Amino acid sequence: MQKRAITGNEFEKTLQTDQWIKREVRPSMKWSGKGRNIFKKIESVGYDVNKFNLREDSVISKSDFVFHTDDSMRFEAKKYEMMMFKKWIMYSEPFFKVADVKQANLVDKDKYNKFVDDFMTHRQDIIERVLNEMSQSNLGIRCIDGFISQDKLEFKVIKRKGWEGYYRITIMVKMK
pLDDT tens digits for 43-100?
Answer: 999 999 999 999 999 999 999 999 999 989 999 999 999 999 999 999 999 999 999 9
The model's pLDDT over 4-25, given as tens digits with 9 standing for 90+, comes to 555 678 889 899 899 999 999 9
The number of distinct structural domains making up the chain is 1
Residue 23 to residue 21: CA distance in whole angstroms: 6
Q: Which domain holds residue 14?
A: 3-175
Residue 138 to residue 146: CA distance in whole angstroms: 16
- Three-state DSSP at 120 gives helix
Q: Cα 169 to the chain's mean position, in Å?
A: 9
Q: What is the mean pLDDT of residues 121-143?
A: 95
pLDDT band at 151 (very low <50, low <70, confident <90, very high): very high
At 66 the pLDDT is: 93
DSSP 144: T
